[in-house]
Structures are given as C-alpha cells and as structure tokens.
Amino acid sequence: MIRFQQVSKRYPPGIDALSIVSFEVAEGELAVIAGHSGAGKSTLLKLIAAIERPTGGVVLVGGQNVGALKRAAVPYVRRNLGLVFQDQKLLFDRNAFENVMLPLSIAGFPPREAAKRVRAALDKVGLLEREKALPIMLSGGEQQRLAIARAVVSRPKLLIADEPTAHLDAETAGDVAQIFRDFHQVGVTVVIATYDAALFPEARRIILDHGRLTS
C-alpha cells in the first residue's frame, strides 16, 4: 500500500525533516509513526498525502508515485485517502452533517446517496444524534470524532491521522483510538502519527529520530 524508497525532505534554509527513510506499510495494516516532537512524523504523513513532495527518493501509495503527480491529479488520488489533522480543520459555520457532507459534495455524489453515507459515518463515530450541532457546541473529543467521520465518509482504503489524540484526556483518547481500530478491523489501512504509541499496542511501530528511521 505504502512504500518509501530512500526518501528525504529538506526545508529552507537547509533543514532536514527526513533523511533517507525507507519502509513499507502493507494493505490492511495498522502502523504507528512514533518519535519525539520534531522527529518528522507530520512531514512523513504529508508526503503520503501529496501535501508535500520529497526532496529525494520515491513515495509510492497504491503503486503510484505521489511525489511526481501533476497538481491537477492530486485531488483524485486523495479521494481514496482519509485525512485527520491535529487541528481538525472543521468549518465552524456549518453543522456536523454539513461538515461531513463537504467531501462528497465536492466529489459530486448524488444528494440522497451522500446523505446516507454522511449519517452512516456519523453513526460510526457516535455522533448521529448531534448531526445538527455546530462544531463549537461539541467537546474536543466530539470534534475529533467529527473530523474522523469526514475523513472516512468517502470510504477510503487508506486512513492517515496526525496526532489524533493530542489534547484529549486519557478516556477520550482511548475512545478515539478504538474508532481507528474499528476501521482497521474492516480492512482499512491505518497510519497514525502519535506521541502516545501506547494507545495502539498491537500496531507496527515506525520510529523516527531527528528525521531518520530507527526502527
């Protein structure tokens, strides 16, 4: 599903976020990207999602070299990819239903089918009864679950998340971690960057230290 081949990423003025990183994540696998703050975890996820391009090496996702894609092709690739950001990037002027509906509207789904998918995604994360609530009315944990619902509403084969349990209390973090496990158990490939790898003891760990792969 994912293959990094001697991948490096350098930001001006000569800061190496990743240095000669090589690994693979198999289809259907649950993998955790672990490491200290600034280790390169977020950069690695951005390369998978074609948000960033590698300075050197090759990033393959589903057999496709995402680092060499033309910009016009990137949105089509992301339709098979669910993204959960640390800051959630929710639209606070739209309710929960409308936030989850957004990627389906952009993709041109028929309204009736889209509505069914939205409610199924909200139900999966335990927010169906709050579909009319604005994000500001939701707790931090509920906002994170809403972001997950939006990421999976297109039923992607690959789900990646950047510190999805950051700033959550231990109980809520455990609940959010279980949602990712549930998707993994139905065959979705899940890659999570987290400072708390203990939340996913069964996952394979890919450990970074100052941009280099250590395990």
Number of alpha helices (DSSP H) and beta strands (DSSP E) in the chain: 6, 10
**Rounded to whole angstroms, how far apart are CA atoms 135 and 156?**
23
pTM reported for the whole predicted model: 0.90
Apex 59 CA angle, 53 and 64, nearest 5: 105
Question: SS3 of 34, please?
Answer: strand
For the chain, strand residue ranges (E) read: 2-11, 15-25, 30-35, 56-61, 64-65, 81-84, 158-162, 189-193, 204-209, 212-213
- The pLDDT profile of the chain, 215 residues, written as one tens digit per residue, is 899 999 999 999 889 999 999 999 999 999 999 998 889 999 999 999 999 999 999 999 988 899 888 888 887 777 788 999 877 789 999 999 999 999 999 888 999 999 999 999 999 999 999 999 999 999 989 999 999 999 999 999 999 999 998 888 899 999 999 999 999 999 999 999 998 878 999 999 999 999 999 96
Helix (H, G, I), strand (E, B) or coil at 4: strand
Cβ atoms of 194 and 34 within 8 Å: the answer is yes
